[in-house]
Amino acid sequence: MKIQIYDTTLRDGTQSEGFTLSSNDKIRIAQKLDDLGVAFIEGGWPGSNPKDVEFFERARDMKWKNALITAFGSTCRVKGGPEDDTNIKALLDSKTPICTIFGKTWTLHVKEVLQTTNDDNLRIIEQSVAYLKANGKRVIYDAEHFFDGYKSDSSYALETLQAAIRGGAETVVLCDTNGGTMPWEVDRIISGMKSALNHPFGIHTHNDSECAVINSLTAIRAGAIQVQGTINGVGERCGNANLCSIISDLELKMGYQCLPLGKIESLFDLSHFVAEVANISPDEHLPFVGKSAFAHKGGVHVAAMRRSPQSYQHIEPEKIGNKMRVVVSDLSGRGNLLSKAEEHGLEVEGEEVIPILNEIKELESRGFSFEAAEASVAMMLKRQEYGYKAPFELIDFSVNVEHRQGRGIFAEATVKVKVQGELFHTAAEGNGPVNALDNALRKALVGYYPQIARFYLSDYKVRILDSDHGTEAITRVLIDTRNDTGRWSTVGASTNIIEASWRALADSVEYGLMVAH
């Protein structure tokens, strides 16, 4: 059985605090969703803002391979009809093949929000759906607050669905709008109403009780043919059902088909693409698509994983485009470092990693953290290789920060390093002490290693570890560096921020020279 995936990232997802998309962002994400193979892409509410109007204008002239673009709106106003309703007119003007409209299911909303009668609410549901159908639209009906409404008055909740069906809705969607329904309630309610409904239905859940995914899966097991949600679970308040998890569970665990064959392998990339376009940090602890979803830190786990990957992984991460990672920390065993050496193509034997493992544990007790600084670990392993010679050796460095009248604050650094037996003593200025130190080191090395000109410091993070020590606190520095082909991270820690920065900077340059050789 194939389950329809209805994506509402571009509409319901943008109601998430801090998650904003331009019209162009929406087009880019919609194209990726279409490539993934979802059945429906809800573009927005065309009557609500200019961005959504622009999206639909652009989308109607584009070729869509798999998905149908859907416009979202509400039933017509109380004490009126759909023929003169501006919201309904905007849905028709969007020129989408499908419109999704929502209406009230819960008598509390009918009386206190719409301030109308139960019968008039049924009228506007049926007439709104029928009017859109008469104007050539396929219609999906979202029954807002369905589960709360059913618990309050089950007969009336079913009447609202029947009104939508009489109007011509092809699918009625049961919405847990407040996100407070438990999985066993979803199962009980759907089992109780299914025979009376006898019509295709879908599920739309929110995550306020951390049950959005399981409620969606429960509804599908009970007969739902469509599931609505968002990429990464973004959405109002605590978010919507996470389609990345739902798709993975349905296809890899439950035997349903949601996407064209093989498309699930692009799920990891899509998850990170959406976060990148929205300019937010991806949640790397998400199931399936987070980088930490298959990251192994404990030494016992890694040792077992080296013998059998199934021992601590519930699926093969490659099936959704992810990969297994080994994290190095003070919890590591030999297996962590051997795996890391193999990952970087380094030739290190089992017993050779023990001094490095002890050094890592000792350094982490002093404030280092190697989980996000794999290049520093790689260099510790590389230096253990027989015959390895470092590309440079630090002799001395100094950094001065000055304020001069008419010029303001500036920094100057001097570096004395030995490169292939030759001593270089260079100086350089920068807009800060680390920038000056970086410039001086590059100046000393660029003659022997011209590839260093293509290294770019892309991020510099500082964290104070023991703030109760005030200005004497240990500072951890994490440096991200990139070149034309890759990106790597290194770490340093010290009570002296310049010393911490130098260690991270030196590791970064040495690693870059190793991989760019």
> DSSP letter at 176?
E
Half-sphere exposure of 439 (CA within 13 A, CB side): 15
Burial (0-12, 13-18, 19+ Cβ within 10 Å), 263: middle
Q: By the 8 A CB rule, do 154 and 182 touch?
A: no
Rounded to whole angstroms, the Cα distance separating 464 from 454 reads 30
pTM score? 0.72
Burial (0-12, 13-18, 19+ Cβ within 10 Å), 147: buried
Q: What is the residue extent of each domain of the chain?
A: 4-277, 291-382, 393-515
CB 499: neighbour CB atoms within 10 A? Answer: 15
CATH number belonging to the domain at 4-277, selected among 3.40.50.300, 2.40.160.40, 3.30.360.10, 3.20.20.70: 3.20.20.70
Span 393-515 CATH architecture = 2-Layer Sandwich (3.30)
Q: By the 8 A CB rule, do 8 and 43 touch?
A: no
* Domain at 291-382: CATH code: 4.10.430.20
Listed as own residue / partner, the contacts of 254-262 with beta carbons closer than 8 Å and 24 or more positions apart are 254/217, 254/220, 254/221, 256/1, 256/2, 256/3, 256/220, 257/1, 257/2, 257/3, 258/2, 258/3, 258/5, 259/5, 259/36, 259/37, 259/38, 260/37, 260/66
Q: Which amino acid is at 322?
A: N
In the structure, how many helices (H) and strands (E) does the chain have? Answer: 17, 16
Closest alpha carbon to 218 in 174, 258, 252: 174
How does pLDDT run along the chain (517 residues), one tens digit per residue?
A: 799 999 999 999 999 999 999 998 999 999 999 999 999 999 999 977 889 999 999 999 999 999 999 999 999 999 899 999 999 999 999 999 999 999 999 999 999 999 999 999 999 999 999 999 999 999 999 999 999 999 999 999 999 999 999 999 999 999 999 999 999 999 999 999 988 999 999 999 999 999 999 999 999 999 999 999 999 999 999 999 999 999 999 999 999 999 999 999 999 999 988 988 888 878 989 999 998 888 766 555 555 656 666 677 789 999 999 887 665 544 444 455 555 445 545 455 555 555 655 555 555 555 555 555 677 777 777 777 777 788 899 899 999 988 877 778 889 999 999 998 899 999 999 888 889 999 999 999 999 999 999 998 888 888 776 666 666 677 878 888 888 888 888 888 788 888 888 888 988 898 888 876 5
Which residue is listed with tokens 């293509």? 454
Residues 6+ apart with CB under 8 A from 253: none
Q: How far is CA 431 from the centre of its chain?
A: 34
Write the pLDDT tens digit of every residue in 149-167: 999 999 999 999 999 999 9
